Structure 1
Amino acid sequence: MPSPAVDGQKRGYVIPIGGAEEKIDNPEILSKFVELAGGREAKICVIPTASRLEDTGSRYETLFRDLGAGQADSLPIAERSDAQDETHLDIIENATAIFITGGNQLRLSTILGGTPVAKAIRQANARGAHVGGTSAGAAIISQHMIAGGNVGIVPTEDGVNLAPGMGLINTVVVDQHFNERNRLARLLSAVSYNPFLVGVGLDENTAAFIDEDNIFTVVGSGAITVVDPSDIEYSSMAEARRGEALTLLNLKVHILASGARYDISNRIAHID
């Protein structure tokens, strides 16, 4: 479950990004992230753990400063012991926004899962700090994290691999690089387990800015595919043999481009 909001304060935005966000020509998503973080008053904490590239953190530090952030600090968390460092925890506690970079989401879950840093990120969001993540950093934001799966459009019994995520939001399951890597099948497989979840497929350079009321606005050049199984009449997941195609009846699908909004709690899509 997400950490409960601190009395008298609003939970910060949760911002999953589909990966390959524009950084130079029209960095709309990252510019909005910096603006939400406070602009010149922003204190942005970068978590580059998912990446094996040594300069990932420093590149995002420079990028955020160039976009107007007053402060940007990258935390070199490469091992579980690093995620207990008191200096890192202090930076997270004082951050106005936290950004989790792309890479391998299983590096994130195996290194950060159950650590003081993971707890600190959740608590920071509960007291108002915004948390964004791109690619792998988007996948781990939800309670149920997609760690792998099949490509294509037909869901199968073994079509998705799930692992525990960070749990900043518990009512959605997120997939990234969605249309670019043909990932509809694995998102459908994920929601077939339990209609409690809403599937959110993020195209590249596209983000969902989820506010404290669990309503998100689409920002970016692509689209977000929302799979709503709340009215599903039948899923064959329980009876399907390994690798067998699934039957799913009465799913609802929305395709939402920039400016469209979606109410996760009430499962209503709308445009202004």
Structure 2
Amino acid sequence: MGANARGEESNVPAKVQDNQSRGYIVPVGGAEDKDSDPVILRRFVEISGDEHARIAVIPTASRLDDTGRRYERIFKELGAADALALDYKRREDADNPEWLEYLHGASGVFLTGGNQLRISTILGGTDVARAIRSVNASGVSVGGTSAGAAILSEHMIAFGKSGATPRAGMVSLAPGFGLTNRIVIDQHFRQRDRIGRLLAALAYNPFAVGIGLDEDTAAFIDGEDTLEVFGSGAITVVDASKLEHSSMGSASDGDTICMTGIRLHILNAGGRFNLHTRVATPPL
């Protein structure tokens, strides 16, 4: 793990060993189809080992008692060999040795929706967060829906305001789990009119690619950092790498933000985007 100047652990992606490939990172925009045509969850089972899949479900973001059990049932019905909800509700739960053992032996990890700050405050800095980064670096697929998607990247959108125009102060960021530092994720994107807050997040630092996920839509990001879209909606990809100007540095709270030189792609099922080359490819 990385460390800052004071020697403290930071949420940087775990190092991938030379003989290994990072597992998929799978942010889902929320409200994924779980019954009639669960394309996204079925694909997650496939990349997690299909009939050999052993999936750790982490329902920490949710306050509903049956969330974990529901995903256990869904993954098993979709063909996984096993699925177990690790119901971390308090920070001390992260010390549960049996759950940690299951997590280290899982072939897939899936974080449910709810409130991403529940995940970060309960699991941030624990052995569970470290294990999730470590197993992903060793080839295990890690996905999450809604709040579970937001937590996957290094910089997490904690909360913000709706609206199409970016404004100073409309988005608040917090540390995520740090599986990747290449993207900033937002979910329920079109349904909740969130392009303004994603642009505002990128206005602070245009290094990352903005990924806006519609509901029932997922980005399957492979070990080579190529994203492929699955689901019924679209993904809005905001590439600010060629940003020419951002007024964020001089703006007061509530001011509109001027940004020039941004590239934007709308990708639906089968579309791809390479996070290294920043090249988008339409569906075949």
The TM-score normalised by the length of structure 2 is 0.95
Equivalence map 1:20-169=2 (5 Å): 20-169=31-180
- Report the aligned-residue RMSD: 0.7
Displacement of 1:8 after TM fit? Answer: 1.2
Letter in 2 for 1:225: T
Aligned partners of 2:55, 2:194: CA distance in 1, in Å? 31
For residues 96-144 of structure 1, the C-alpha deviation after alignment (integer angstroms, 9 at most, x for no partner) is: 0000000000000000100000001111101111001000000000100
In the other structure, the counterpart of 2:231 is: 220
* 2:96 partner letter: D
Q: Does the 8 A contact of 1:88 with 1:117 survive in 2?
A: no
Q: Which secondary structure state, in structure 1, belongs to the residue aligned with residue 144 of structure 2?
A: strand
Aligned to 1:260: 271
Kept in 2, the 8 Å contact 1:225–1:256? The answer is yes
Cα distance, 1:6 vs. partner?
2.9
- Match in the other structure for 1:195: 206
Instruction: State the one-letter code of the partner of 1:3.
Output: A
Check if 1:180 corresponds to 2:188: no
| Secondary structure of residue in 1 paired with 2:173 | strand
What displacement does 1:7 show? Answer: 3.4
Partner of 2:6: none
Q: 1:182 and 1:230 mapped to 2: Cα distance?
A: 23
Deviations 1:56-85 (A, max 9, x none): 000100010011100001101000000121
Runs of 4+ in structure 1 over 4 Å off: none
1:11 equivalent to 2:11? Answer no
State the partner residue of 1:211: 222
Following the alignment from structure 2 to structure 1, what is the Cα–Cα distance between the partners of residues 165 and 79? 44
How many percent identity over aligned positions? 54
Give, in angstroms, the shift of residue 17 of structure 1. 0.1
Which residue type is aligned with residue 257 of structure 2?
A: L
Is residue 2:243 matched to residue 1:232? yes
Q: Is residue 270 of structure 1 aligned with residue 281 of structure 2?
A: yes
Question: 1-side partners of 2:280 and 2:88: how far apart?
Answer: 38
The letter of the residue matching 2:271 is A
C-alpha separation between the residues in 1 aligned to 2:83 and 2:57?
A: 7
Alignment length, in residue pairs?
272
Alpha-carbon offset, residue 165 of structure 1: 0.2
TM superposition score normalised by structure 1:
0.99
CA distance in 2, matches of 1:44, 1:7: 25
Partners of 1:159 and 1:189 in 2: CA distance:
7
